Structures are given as structure tokens and as C-alpha cells.
Amino acid sequence: MSTATPGAAPHGALPKVENMRVAIIAAEWNGHITGALTQGALDLFKAEGFDDDQVDVYHVPGAVELTFGASQAIESSAYDAVIVFGCVIRGGTPHFDYVCQSVTQGITMLNSDCDIPVIFGVLTVDNEQDALDRAGGKLGNKGTEAAEAAIKMHDFACKIKEL
């Protein structure tokens, strides 16, 4: 991005939101990675003053099931944002491509059809080290970034609804 959006918070500054409820849906597959992403998000929410009862964590078997999990969280009407965490590591078969395409299209569909944001926290990497680097390693924690995006998108949705 080369220009700032008028009225937007500076990069890194988070809007203050009240009573926001978040569902985190994490895949069990590659759980050591999705667990680290989830913890990064929980740490950010805590640092932003969220109470424990404002963020619920659910688990589904794998990345393909994230869309269903997110859909169920949305249908509950209990949440203001949903974050999905998965980790798909490239292997020697086309399975990687099918899984990545499925979850990407599913989450994109939910974002276009639903009234609350679904934040895409799915790592699609070539190897485990790439994932570790993004789940609290040398490249930071994408879980923290997903939590920031959830707060910003909830704030955005609230502002649009006020128009």
C-alpha cells in the first residue's frame, strides 16, 4: 500500500472495540503449528484487553473442515468475527493443491456471503520450517496478525453499518 486510507488508523494501531466476540477455528492437523497461531492470537487479544469469555477456540480435524466450522460459528450469531487457522504443507502429491483450493474458496465464499468477517489464517507452505517461521519463528506469528485483522475488520463493519 502506498497511500493511507483517509480516516484509517496508522499501520499497527488498532481501533478500540467493545464487547467484541471472536471464534477461532483451528485445524488439528499440524496442531503444533495451528496451536502456535492460536496462541499468538490469544496473546494479542489479551494485550488488547479482551476478557477470556470474549474469545472461544474450537477445533476441527483439518483445513478442509475449517469452512464448515466457520460457517457454524457464523450461523450461531454469537460472534463478531471468526478466525480460521490451518497449516497445509506441500507434499509429493496434488493433495496440497486440492486442500488449499478448497479452504481458500470456502472462506472466500463465507466472506462474500456473510455479515461478519472471516479471517484467513491458513499457512500454505513448502515445508515445516516455513510454517514454524510464521508461527512464532523468525517471521513473527501470523496468528497475531490474524487477530489484528479481526479487530480491524470488525471495526470496519461497524463503521459501514453506521452509514
Residues taking part in catalysis = 95
Handedness of CA 97, 102, 105, 108 (dihedral sign): negative
The Cα–Cα gap between 129 and 133 comes to: 6
What distance, in Å, lies between the first and last C-alpha atoms of the chain? 25
The Cα–Cα gap between 155 and 16 comes to: 8
Residue type, 23: A
Contact 64, 99 (CB under 8 A): yes
CA dihedral of residues 116, 53, 38, 137 (deg, nearest 10)? 120
